[in-house]
Amino acid sequence: MATRTLKVLTYNLHKGFAPGNRRFVLHEMREALLETGADVLFLQEIQGRHEARQMRFATWPESTQAEFLAEAGWDHHHYAGHAIYAAGHHGNAILSRFPLEEVRDLNLARWRFASRSLVHAVIRPDSLPEPLHLVCVHLDLIGFERRRQFRVLNRYLLDEIPRDAPLVLAGDFNDWTGRATLHLDLRLGLREVFQESRGTHARTFPVAWPVLTMDRIYYRGLELESAHCFTDAPWRELSDHAPLWASFELEA
């Protein structure tokens, strides 16, 4: 029986800037992400276009940030830029070493400048007997709006993904109150990697002194192997969020 490990990572990129927007560090982010060995990246606040910043920073890539990061070894990617403004746009992206199928995205925000969206794709790792659904989300910081978005998210997951299909739901839930899991429909059968492995959610924000459990990796239909929150170097000098990483055991 062939066994393979699937590694996933979720990260709020802060549009490629270090905490406080002092330095543009997208190149350093790419190197750090590559070192994690992740097969799938769930990325939030990833910049699609920003004309003023492109002129200001000499190291700003000619391509979108999703395309720039994908060049390091994730051959398949999808970017959804739902936060739109005069200078450009940003949003969410999924990068994968496996081909992405059935890609969809949904704007969860009621305002066009807010980066609150969902990206959904399917991958078919050889060692998994059925397709694996991937959903990347970024929810609102304001409680009443975040609760509304949870209702939309629950409805989408229940309607669009078979109840018995393997699923990884990851992203920035802005869950500073620690109540995100309570808002997910029990019928989804989701578990959170840190809650399962350590009994508590990982503190991811701010990265220099993490106190808030803003980010999550939920899953079902997979065997959790390990989970890690990167708060050491070089991560504390990159985004204002710490990334979450998890590995799952797949059997053919």
Residue 18's φ and ψ, nearest 5 degrees, are: -70, 165
pTM above 0.85, yes or no: yes
The three-point CA angle 82-83-89 to 5° equals: 100
Question: Which of 229, 228, 234 minimizes the C-alpha distance to 204?
Answer: 229
How would you write the pLDDT of the chain (252 residues) with one tens digit per residue? Answer: 455 899 999 999 999 999 988 899 999 999 999 999 999 999 999 987 777 687 778 888 888 899 999 999 999 999 988 777 777 777 999 999 999 999 999 988 776 556 678 999 999 998 888 999 999 999 988 889 899 999 999 999 999 999 999 999 999 999 888 888 889 999 999 999 999 999 999 999 999 999 999 999 999 999 999 999 999 999 999 999 999 999 999 865
Domain holding 49: CATH number? 3.60.10.10
Backbone φ and ψ for 55, nearest 5 degrees, come out as: -75, -30
User: In the prediction, which pLDDT does 112 show?
Assistant: 58
How far is it, in rounded angstroms, from Cα 117 to Cα 78? 13
Q: Spell out the residues 6+ positions from residue 123 whose beta carbon is closer than 8 angstroms to its own.
A: 40, 96, 98, 99, 100, 101, 131, 132, 134
- Count the neighbouring beta carbons within 10 Å of the beta carbon of residue 150: 21
DSSP conformation class of 74: -
Q: How many domains does the chain have?
A: 1
Handedness of CA 13, 19, 22, 28 (dihedral sign): negative
Q: Which residues contact 91 (CB under 8 A, 6 or more apart)?
A: 46, 48, 79, 80, 81, 82, 83, 115, 117, 138
pLDDT of residue 1: 45
Domain with 151 in it: 3-251
For 186, list phi and psi in degrees, rounded to 5.
-60, -25
Instruction: Write down the residue that tokens 């746009």 correspond to.
Output: 89
Taking each continuous run of H as one helix and of E as one strand, the counts in the chain are 6, 12
pLDDT of residue 137: 96
